[in-house]
Amino acid sequence: MADVTQSPDAQRQPAGATTGEASTSATKSGAPAPAIMPSETQESNEASNHDDEDGEDDDADSALGYDIASTTASLSASIVDYRTMHGRTYHSEKHGTAYWGPNDERQNEALDLYHHVLTLQLDGKLHAAPLDKNIQKVLDVGTGTGIWAIDFADEYPGAQVIGTDLSPIQPHWIPPNCKFEIDDAELPWTWPEGTFDYIHIRYLLGSISDWPGLFKQAFAALKPGGYVESFEADASFKSDDGSVTPDSPMKRWADLNREGGKKLGKPFTVHSDNLQVKGMEEAGFTDITVKNFKVGI
């Protein structure tokens, strides 16, 4: 895993970022979630208005969570019109972005397991960046099942936590300071400049065609002195004792992954090609910290 951070600066140079070889799991519940809100880039007539978002949050006065009528937008039926291939379901064709991962229960269980593994790797922590306990606004890009966002919202009840994803697969009972939106991280972000204190990005290997572009958008969306943290796995298997041989099926699987990523234009070699650090440097981040660790299988 790699942890990348930047120091505060008078100019627009949000602090930090993290990169790494890691994984995911855990489940939380709380108050009922507001309905998933399509991002403006996807559903202009049904989208949440990020420019007015702070004002909308003032209406969240329900004892059980947000005031549904005042803080949510309708979810287009096309978003949940999933594709089925070889018995697995994938995100709706409503999104122009191609993503390799399924969004069915089998995959969701794996995502939660990855979360648990990575939390263990971080000694029970949800992040490596040195965050202020009074952090206010957090974005989780590619939130998946939403498990990290939910856990973070529980740990930081004073923060507003927003998770975005291509599929509305997140639970309906979540902490009142957490919400989810449908969004495509590869499209232009609609968040106003300087919105977030912390942006969390994890397990997007094989999903992003322009890593510097992703970090540039994160840089713009961060407040000065903010942090971005990125965790990515190396999609290959290695062994200390040489048991993963060149003709191993595991080696062949990794080679096919790399080949597929190249054909899609969305690399699975994010960690091995150092795309996180390169992208962060190009975006303008400084004081980049990298931490690498092994993940057992």
Q: Is the pTM of this model over 0.85?
A: no
Write the DSSP assignment of 15-43 as a string of letters: ----B-S---------EEPPPPEE-TTT-
In whole angstroms, give the CA distance from residue 88 to residue 194.
39
> Could you tell me how many residues make up the chain?
297
Per residue in 64-113, pLDDT (tens digit) is: 333 333 334 445 555 566 667 667 666 666 655 666 666 677 777 878 78
Q: Residue ranges of the domains in the chain? A: 31-234+269-283
In whole angstroms, give the CA distance from residue 165 to residue 80.
12
At residue 229 the predicted structure's pLDDT band, cuts being 50, 70 and 90, is very high
- Contact between 166 and 184 under an 8 Å Cβ cutoff? The reply is yes
Mean pLDDT of the chain: 74
- Contact between 274 and 20 under an 8 Å Cβ cutoff? The reply is no
Per residue in 167-187, pLDDT (tens digit) is: 777 888 999 999 999 888 999
- Closest alpha carbon to 209 in 96, 285, 45: 96
Domain 31-234+269-283 has CATH 3.30.200: no
Say whether pLDDT at 137 is over 80. yes
